[in-house]
Amino acid sequence: MAAQAEGRNERARRIAVVGGGPGGLYAAALLKRLDPERDVTVWERNAPDETFGFGVVLSDETLGGIEHADPVVYAALQEDFVRWDDIDIVHRGTRHTSGGHGFAALGRRRLLEILHERCRSLGVRIHFRTRAPALDRLAADHDLVIAADGVHSATRETRAEAFGPRVTEHRCRYIWLAADFALDAFRFEIAETEHGVMQLHGYPYAADASTVIVEMREEVWRAAGFDELGAPESIERCAKIFADALRGRPLRSNNSAWTTFRTVVNSHWSHGNVVLLGDAAHTAHFSIGSGTKLAVEDALALAACLEEQPDVPSALGAYEEERRPVVASTQRAARASLEWFENLGLYLDQPPRQFAFNLLTRSRRVTHDNLRLRDAHFTGSVEREFGCPPGTPPMFTPFRLRGLTLRNRVVVSPMDMYSATDGVPGDFHLVHLGARALGGAGLVMTEMVCVSEEGRITPGCAGLYTGRQAEAWRRITDFVHTGAPGTAIGVQLGHSGRKGSTKLMWEGMDEPLPEGNWPLVAASPLPYKPGGQTPRHLSRAQLTDIREQFASAAWRAARAGFDLLELHCAHGYLLSGFLSPLTNRRTDAYGGSLEKRLRFPLEVFDAVRAVWPAERPMTVRISATDWAEGGTTAEDAVGIARAFAAHGADAIDVSTGQVVAEERPEFGRSYQTPFADRIRHEVGVPVVAVGAISSWDDVNSLILAGRTDLCALARPHLYDPHWTLHAAAEQGYEGPGAPWPDPYRAGSRRPQTGRTDAPKPRLSLGG
């Protein structure tokens, strides 16, 4: 045991691998190749030729890593790969083809054969039809235990308290099948049946075989009677439903069964000398083809870290540090793809090419610019169908709201500046908003402008409750209209509610003022944070007063020259506090059901709309989820949006969260967009998407896919006030959607940049 203890303090010499899938086998082969003196053993409970599924898709990036780490495995894979470039999308009898995608696939059994052969040639022992010894025994007898035993990992469950697994089951049923012919492309086919929507995902993996996955919502699966059919009858029915895609040929099974996808996330990937790899650590939906890819990349990273680090604990820490961000990004993309297919019914009535573009960009990994590089002809046809003039990116097409036509789809999102004095905006606001207006955005929004002194968030918040404040705002709107003609400026009206009387953001966000506090009011007497001020419960008379404050502020906003007004019903401020069940505990006519929780915000909306000029648009910002259990649901958000639209809202600005301090947001690129997407398609109202939209490519992608009508960006406009003009320059666009101010025209060409080099392969071992 002394030698074993010494080994653990240095390099792993004796290694156990639990699970003989691609990830476990490849890890075993790499570790043995790196050090032939290692003792590496794999335990696989199934026979060598027993496997789930049929074909495996690997990306060029993954193949490149394999080529550098083990040319022998790469050469064997090359001999059997089926390669293709096209994706076919078939919907309502029309097929759209997009090329340039570069797929490579082979049979899963053949992949395992290659890895079995490689392991044997290197001296790795593989025990088939054998369960691994108990985990405690393995960990005691080996320097390292690699748990590659899949989504139902027994290793992970044995130490669940240490790994902290969270497993989420999703809303669709699917079955993994095969057809005995090669599809021409990666094929997505939509079937609209009397029971609901079903979809086929198919791709070739051999010269004479294709993987075929049939998927549908749980309720559709039950309505179609699949829950009562045996496997042969299910498979036969699937073949009939998708007879055109299958050319009338049958489907076959490999012990296939209907199942639901499970997303696996773990708080920790290692405990002691036991480490999780592949599906045991994480899963990603098959619609982005990433399960085997992730497992192989895990194996590459783990092997590299064991070489680079001085001991096993350091290596396992480095492995998780390296892989976790990559996996998290992939899981976010997979979740977006999964949810797109779960909600497929929302998109069926889109124009045909837009539907195809929407499907291709569903995970947000394939974007407008990326797709244009892959297939300019296809992307151009989508742009023409959308109505883009020649040479005009989607973001620079105009959009009309009531009597206001925005020259492009970019909005400078409301951002609190906390720089007013007694509610009066000064030179800072003139420069801040004026610079963003000169920067080319179609619409520039003010920060939340408070309707009363007591409705401020901080002492530095701007207001519209005095004539002096209105005159100061008029100075700013005049500059925007004369200095940046064609740019619209909007005002966001709100009341802080229980989140008021706090320090300036940079002095302590949401922290109470040390002195000079003012009393707070809210739907219910609940403090925002423990130790914070408890607001007073609003009486009916006080509700009437606040409604009139909103109307008076709107009247002043109209006289101040604003082009658009947005009512702030998000982020836990007063009106948002009425909408969320977590912050509205009232038992009167303004609390309880969603209809009652909507009552006061709708009364305020109606009062504002009554004084706001009829030709000027009015929007509403909502929090579509509270990111907290028991809070506003996605279904509630649709109901809220529908109610405001029925009362005359011209668009819904869809944000999320900031309603309760204990929220747990799921951050990521464009992470709030799916909420806007759903509202747009279910309610039929224009929407503004917000939330980590940071590139012009994202804006083009979201607009062209029909997931939003406008995109609001905040931090990018703090980083670059001329973000929109620079986006135009970088795309070579010089049209009416983004005219450069005459004094700035000399700077309208993109400056030259230096060279950047691609990263080197993760693990390179030579021939």
Which pair of structure tokens corresponds to residue 502?
Answer: 């706090």
Query: 41 has which bridge partners?
Result: 16, 125
Q: Are 146 and 18 in contact (CB under 8 A)?
A: yes
Phi/psi at 110 (5° precision): -65, -40
* Lateral strand order in the sheet of 209-217: 94-98, 87-91, 186-193, 196-206, 209-217, 165-179, 259-266
Query: 265 has which bridge partners?
Result: 166
The answer to whether residue 573 is catalytic is yes
Nearest to 689 by CA among 668, 669, 675, 704: 675
Give 752's DSSP letter. P
Tell how many helices (H) and how many strands (E) occur in the chain.
28, 28
User: For residue 561, which amino acid is it?
Assistant: G
| 74 membership: H or E segment, kind and range | helix 71-80
Phi/psi at 192 (5° precision): -100, 105
C-alpha 113: how far from its chain's center? Answer: 37
Task: Compute the 3-state secondary structure of the chain and give helix, strand, coil in percent, each to the nearest 5.
Answer: 40, 20, 40
- CA 126 to CA 112: how far, in whole Å? 12
- CA 18 to CA 202: how far, in whole Å? 31
| Residue tagged active-site, from 174, 573, 590, 671 | 573
Query: What b/e sequence results for 506-545 when a residue is b if at least 16 CB atoms lie within 10 Å of its CB, and e otherwise?
Result: eeeebebbeeeeeebbbbbebbbeeebbebeebeeeebee
- CA 87 to CA 100: how far, in whole Å? 9
Query: 107 has which bridge partners?
Result: 55
Sole residue written with tokens 């705002």? 473
Nearest to 70 by CA among 40, 126, 127, 114: 114
3-state SS of 265-300?
Answer: EECCCEECCEEECHHHCCCCCHHHCCHHHHHHHHHH
Half-sphere exposure of 241 (CA within 13 A, CB side): 26
Q: Are 679 and 644 in contact (CB under 8 A)?
A: no
- CA 676 to CA 411: how far, in whole Å? 15
Phi/psi at 736 (5° precision): -70, -15
Q: Strands 259-266, 209-217: parallel, antiparallel or unpaired by DSSP?
A: unpaired
3-state SS of 660-676?
Answer: CCCCCCCCCCCCCHHHH
Q: In terms of residues, how long is the chain?
A: 767
Which pair of structure tokens corresponds to residue 350?
Answer: 């889109």
- CA 504 to CA 492: how far, in whole Å? 19
Q: Give me the long-range contacts of 227-232 (CB less than 8 A, separation at least 24).
A: 231/256, 231/257
Q: Are 561 and 474 in contact (CB under 8 A)?
A: yes
Nearest to 221 by CA among 196, 248, 186: 196
Question: Which residues are known to be catalytic?
Answer: 573
